[in-house]
C-alpha cells in the first residue's frame, strides 16, 4: 500500500489546521460579540423555548457546540443560569452545531473555497494590525474561516485513496456489512473520534469526506454522526470537573440528553435513514447510495484522475467528474439533513422533559456540604413582581450576598493559618471564585434594581432603591478587600516572609473586630425598618478598628527598628492590616446606606 507515515502526518496536520481554523473563528466571533453573548444567555432563557432558540443562535454564531456548552457550564457554576435554563440552552446548541455540516455541504464540495483562503488572509492581515479590538477580532474570524476551509481542502487531499489500495478497502468493508452490529460499531468509532479531536464539527467533516469518497455507506456515516453526538458531551463534562455541583449536573444533563436521543434513534434507525435518503432523492441532487455503486464500476486510475485537482481535457472524464461531484453533494446533503432532523426532532421530544432531567441529575450527582451554590435565591430573571414585592426580594438577596462575604472572611482566616501548600492553593482558589461571584452578584442585583426603578414608583421607593444600590456596591468592595487580603497572604508565602507570634496575635485581634463588624452588619441588614440607632454599634466597632490600625502602624515601625522582623515583612503585615481597616470602612458604608430614612418606609 502506497501510503507512508509522512502522508499520515499530512493528514493529522490537515485536521489540525481545520481545528485551529474553527478555534480561531470561534474565538474571534466570541470577542466581537463579547458581553452580548453573555447578555443573551442570561436574559433570553426565561422559558424552555427561548432557551433552545438562544442555544441554537449562539452555537450557529460561534460554530462550536462545545464552546456554548462550556460557556453554559461556567455560567451555571457562577449562578447566572439555573440547571433547568442550562438544559434548554444545551438542547439548542445541538441544533446550532448542525450549521457546520451545512456550510461544508453547501460550499465545501461545490465551491473551492480553499482557493479563496489566501486572498481572505490577505484581507484579514490589515485588520489584525488595527488599533481597534473589534477590527482585530474580525480579522481573527476571517483568518479562522480561511484556515478552516484550507484545512478541509488539505484533509480531502490527504486521506488515503482506498480505491488504489484494495487491501485497505477490504479491511474497511469487512466491518460495514454486519447489519445492525456495524451501526453500533461505527457509532462507537464516531464517539471515540470526537473524544480524541474534541470537536464534533471536525468529526462530522471527516465523516462527510469518508462518505463522499465512497468508503462507507450513508447508513454507516449516519451511525458515526450519532456517535459524534455522544462524544461531544465529553468536553463539557471535562470543563465541569473542577466546577460546583450545579455545573457538573448541567454537563451530565448534556450527556443524558444526547444518549437518550441516540437510543430512540437506534430504535427507528433504518426507517429514518430510508426516509432521509428518499427525501433527498426526490427534492435534492440524488440518491446518497448511488456513489458507492458509481465508484465500484470505475477503474482505480480513472477515480484517481477525476478526484485530482488537475485540469481535465477528456470529455468522458469531465462528465464523470461532474457526476461524482453531484453524487458527493447528494451524500453531504443527506448526512447534513440526517444530522439536522435528528437534533430538531430530539429537542422537540425532550424539551417537555427538562424537569425530569433536572430531577435525575440532582439524584445522580449528589451535592456536598462543602459545595457553594451561587444561584440567586430570591431574585428571578423572569417577569418582575410588583415594585413593592420586588424591593423586598432585592433586600433579602442583599442579606444572602452579605452572608457570602462573611463566609469569605472565614476562608481568609483558614488561609492565613494554612501551612500545607496544596491546601493553601485550594482555599485561595475558593476565595478567588467567591470574588468573581461577588462581582457577578453586584451586576445581577444592580440590573434587577434598575429594572424595578423603570416602573412606576413613589419617590420614597426610588430612594430605597438608591440606598440598596449603594449597599450592594459597598458589599462588593468588601469582597475586593477580602480578596486583597488573600493576595497579601499569598505574597507573604511566595516571599517566604514569616509573621512572628506577636504579629499573629495582632492579626487575630483585628480579625475579631472585623468579624464583629460583619456579623453586626448582617444583623442590621435583616432588620425590616432599621434606624440610625441600629447603626451605632457598627460605628463603635469601626472606631475600634481605626484605633487598632493606628496603634499597629506605630508599633510596626518600632518593631522594625528593634530588628524583631525585617522591613519586607513589616510592609506585608501593614498592607494586611490596612486592607482589614478598609473592609471596616466598607461595612460602615453598608450600614449607613441601610439605615437611611428611605429604608424606614414600608416596602
Cβ pair 194, 228 in contact under 8 A: yes
Cα separations in angstroms, 228 against 183, 267, 385: 13, 18, 44
The residue with cell 461545490 is 110
Taking only Cα atoms into account, the Rg of the chain, rounded to an integer number of angstroms, comes to 31
pLDDT at 81 > cutoff 80:
no
The pLDDT value given to residue 385 = 47
The predicted model gives 66-83 an average pLDDT of 65
314 close to 376: Cβ distance less than 8 angstroms: no
According to DSSP, residue 241 is labeled T
The residue with greater pLDDT, 371 or 93, is: 93
Check residue 358 and give its pLDDT: 84
Helices in 284-386 by DSSP H: which ranges? 290-297, 300-307, 315-350, 354-364
CB atoms within 10 A of CB 405: 25
pLDDT, tens digit (0-9, with 9 covering 90-100), for 113-144: 556 778 888 888 888 888 787 788 888 878 88
Q: Of the candidates 351, 366, 212, which has an alpha carbon nearest to the alpha carbon of residue 290?
A: 212
Q: What is the signed CA dihedral for 75, 77, 82, 84, rounded to 10 degrees?
A: 100
Poorest-pLDDT segment among 171-185, 210-224, 237-251, 379-393: 379-393
Q: What is the DSSP string of 42-86?
A: HHS-SSHHHHHHHHHHHHHHHT-HHHHHHHHHHHHHHTSS-HHHH
Q: Among 255-259, 449-453, 598-602, which range has the highest average pLDDT?
A: 255-259
Out of 153-162, 171-180, 381-390, least confident range: 381-390
Q: What is the predicted pLDDT for the residue at 162? A: 45
Nearest Cα to Cα of residue 310 among 157, 151, 162, 166: 157
DSSP 8-state symbol, 311: P
Q: How many Å apart are CA 495 and CA 193, to the nearest integer?
A: 47
pTM for the model: 0.55
CA distance 255 to 233: 5
Check residue 12 and give its pLDDT.
81
Q: Does pLDDT of 580 surpass 70?
A: yes
Query: Where along the chain do the CATH 1.20.58.220 domains lie?
Result: 387-600
Average pLDDT, the chain: 78
Mean pLDDT within 432-441: 85
Residue 396: strand, helix, or coil: helix
Whether residue 179 has pLDDT greater than 90: no
Q: Does domain 387-600 have CATH number 1.20.58.220?
A: yes
State the cell numbers at 367. Answer: 451535592
State what percent of residues in the chain have pLDDT above 70. Answer: 76
Q: Is 325 exposed, middle or buried (0-12, 13-18, 19+ CB in 10 A)?
A: middle
65-78 and 35-43 are packed helices; what angle lies between their axes, rounded to 10 degrees? 70
pLDDT in tens, 277-317: 888 888 766 777 777 777 777 777 777 777 666 777 778 87
Confidence of residue 597 (pLDDT cuts 50, 70, 90): very low
Confidence of residue 602 (pLDDT cuts 50, 70, 90): very low
The C-alpha atoms of residue 94 and residue 54 are separated, in whole angstroms, by 11
Q: What angle, rounded to 10 degrees, do the helices at 65-78 and 83-96 form?
A: 170
Give mean pLDDT, residues 559-577.
92
Per-residue cell: 312: 481535465
Residue whose C-alpha cell is 463566609? 407
Q: If you count them, how many residues does the chain have? A: 603
Percent of the chain topping pLDDT 90: 21
Q: Give the position of cell 473524544.
A: 195
Alpha carbon distance 508, 514 (integer Å): 10
How many degrees, rounded to 5, is the angle at CA 275 between CA 272 and CA 281? 145
Give the model confidence (pLDDT) of 396-420 as tens digits: 889 999 999 999 999 999 999 999 9
- Averaged pLDDT, 564-590: 93
Q: Is the pLDDT at 227 greater than 50, yes or no?
A: yes
Distance CA 197, CA 52 (A): 26
Range among 67-71, 260-264, 438-442 with highest mean pLDDT value: 260-264
Under 8 Å between Cβ of 198 and 275: no
Asked if 227 and 255 count as a contact pair (C-beta separation under 8 A), the reply is no
Confidence at residue 317, expressed as pLDDT on a 0 to 100 scale: 79
Amino acid at each position: 500500500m502506497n501510503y507512508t507515515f509522512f502522508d499520515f502526518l499530512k493528514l493529522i496536520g490537515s485536521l489540525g489546521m481545520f481545528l485551529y481554523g474553527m478555534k480561531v473563528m470561534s474565538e474571534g466571533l466570541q470577542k466581537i460579540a463579547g458581553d452580548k453573548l453573555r447578555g443573551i444567555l442570561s436574559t433570553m432563557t426565561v422559558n424552555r423555548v427561548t432557551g433552545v432558540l438562544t442555544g441554537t443562535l449562539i452555537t450557529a454564531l460561534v460554530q462550536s457546540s462545545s464552546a456554548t456548552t462550556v460557556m453554559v457550564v461556567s455560567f451555571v457554576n457562577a449562578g447566572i443560569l439555573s440547571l433547568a435554563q442550562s438544559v434548554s440552552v444545551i438542547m439548542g446548541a445541538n441544533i446550532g452545531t448542525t450549521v457546520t455540516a451545512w456550510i461544508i455541504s453547501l460550499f465545501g464540495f461545490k465551491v473551492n473555497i480553499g482557493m479563496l483562503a489566501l486572498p481572505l488572509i490577505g484581507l484579514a492581515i490589515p485588520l489584525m494590525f488595527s488599533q481597534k479590538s473589534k477590527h482585530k477580532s474580525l480579522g481573527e474570524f476571517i483568518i479562522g474561516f480561511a484556515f478552516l476551509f484550507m484545512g478541509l481542502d488539505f484533509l480531502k487531499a490527504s486521506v488515503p485513496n482506498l480505491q488504489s489500495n484494495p487491501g485497505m478497502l477490504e479491511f474497511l468493508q469487512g466491518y460495514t456489512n454486519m447489519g445492525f452490529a456495524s451501526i453500533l460499531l461505527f457509532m462507537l468509532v464516531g464517539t471515540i473520534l470526537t473524544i480524541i479531536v474534541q470537536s464534533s464539527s471536525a468529526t462530522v467533516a471527516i465523516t462527510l469526506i469518508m462518505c463522499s469518497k465512497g468508503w462507507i455507506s450513508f447508513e454507516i456515516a449516519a451511525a458515526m454522526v450519532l456517535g459524534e453526538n455522544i462524544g461531544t458531551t465529553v468536553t463539557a463534562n471535562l470543563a465541569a470537573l473542577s466546577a460546583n455541583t450545579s455545573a457538573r449536573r448541567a454537563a451530565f444533563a448534556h450527556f443524558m440528553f444526547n444518549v437518550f436521543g441516540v437510543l430512540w434513534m437506534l430504535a427507528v434507525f433504518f426507517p429514518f435513514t430510508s426516509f432521509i435518503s428518499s427525501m433527498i432523492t426526490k427534492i435534492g441532487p440524488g440518491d446518497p447510495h448511488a456513489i458507492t455503486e458509481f465508484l465500484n464500476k470505475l477503474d482505480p486510475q480513472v477515480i484517481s484522475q477525476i478526484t485530482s485537482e488537475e485540469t481535465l481535457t477528456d470529455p468522458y472524464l469531465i462528465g464523470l467528474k461532474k457526476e461524482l461531484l453531484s453524487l458527493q453533494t447528494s451524500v453531504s446533503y443527506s448526512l447534513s439533513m440526517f444530522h439536522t432532523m435528528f437534533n430538531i426532532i430530539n429537542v422537540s421530544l425532550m424539551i417537555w422533559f427538562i424537569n425530569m432531567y433536572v430531577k435525575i441529575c440532582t439524584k445522580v450527582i449528589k451535592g456536598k456540604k462543602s459545595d457553594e451554590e451561587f444561584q440567586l435565591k430570591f431574585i428571578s430573571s423572569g417577569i418582575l413582581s410588583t415594585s413593592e414585592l420586588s424591593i423586598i426580594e432585592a433586600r433579602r438577596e442583599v442579606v444572602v450576598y452579605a452572608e457570602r462575604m462573611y463566609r469569605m472572611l472565614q476562608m481568609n482566616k483558614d488561609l492565613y493559618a494554612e501551612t500545607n501548600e496544596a491546601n493553601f492553593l485550594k482555599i485561595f482558589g475558593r476565595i478567588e471564585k467567591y470574588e468573581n461571584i461577588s462581582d457577578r452578584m453586584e451586576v445581577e442585583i444592580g440590573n434587577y434594581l434598575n429594572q424595578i426603578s423603570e416602573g412606576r414608583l413613589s419617590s420614597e421607593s426610588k430612594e430605597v432603591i438608591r440606598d440598596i444600590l449603594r449597599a450592594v456596591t459597598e458589599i462588593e468592595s468588601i469582597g475586593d478587600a477580602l480578596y486583597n487580603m488573600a493576595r497579601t497572604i499569598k505574597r507573604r508565602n511566595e516571599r517566604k516572609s514569616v509573621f512572628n507570634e506577636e504579629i499573629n496575635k495582632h492579626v487575630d485581634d483585628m480579625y475579631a473586630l472585623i468579624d464583629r463588624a460583619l456579623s453586626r452588619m448582617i444583623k442590621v441588614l435583616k432588620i425590616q425598618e432599621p434606624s440610625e440607632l441600629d447603626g451605632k454599634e457598627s460605628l463603635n466597632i469601626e472606631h475600634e478598628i481605626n484605633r487598632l490600625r493606628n496603634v499597629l502602624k506605630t508599633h510596626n515601625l518600632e518593631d522594625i527598628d528593634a530588628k524583631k522582623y525585617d522591613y519586607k515583612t513589616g510592609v506585608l503585615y501593614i498592607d494586611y492590616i490596612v486592607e482589614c481597616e478598609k473592609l471596616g470602612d466598607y461595612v460602615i458604608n453598608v450600614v449607613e446606606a441601610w439605615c437611611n430614612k428611605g429604608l424606614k418606609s414600608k416596602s
